[in-house]
């Protein structure tokens, strides 16, 4: 399922990163790689704030849809 569908307070694992190569590289540089654990801090209409590797990152709805995740 896309990260955009995960509600606040849930932890998930990144299964795949989709989209154009530039998008995949950008998300990978931020730490969104398969196997990474992501915690959704806040979700508002698809835009969200997530915790990843001791950092909080804001993602717009389009980027959140590019991250395929699985529940922990």
| Model pLDDT for residues 1-15, shown as the tens digit of each residue | 999 999 999 999 999
Distance CA 46, CA 34 (A): 21
Domains and CATH numbers, the chain: 3-71 (2.30.30.90)
What angle (nearest 5°) sits at the alpha carbon of residue 10, between those of residues 5 and 3? 30
Q: CB burial class (10 A; 0-12, 13-18, 19+) of residue 58?
A: exposed
The pLDDT value recorded for residue 6 is 94
The pLDDT value recorded for residue 46 is 77
The pLDDT value recorded for residue 23 is 95
Strand partners, 38: 12
Structure tokens at 63: 């980027």
Does the pTM exceed 0.85? yes
Q: Which tens digit of pLDDT belongs to each residue from 23-70?
A: 999 999 999 999 999 999 999 877 999 999 999 999 999 999 999 999
């Amino acid at each position: 399922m896309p990260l955009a569908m995960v509600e606040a307070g849930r932890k998930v694992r990144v299964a795949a990163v989709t989209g154009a190569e530039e998008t995949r590289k950008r998300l990978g540089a931020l730490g969104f790689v398969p196997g990474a654990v992501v915690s959704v801090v806040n979700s508002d209409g698809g835009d969200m704030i997530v915790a990843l590797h001791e950092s909080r990152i804001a993602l717009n709805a389009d980027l959140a849809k590019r991250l395929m995740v699985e529940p922990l």
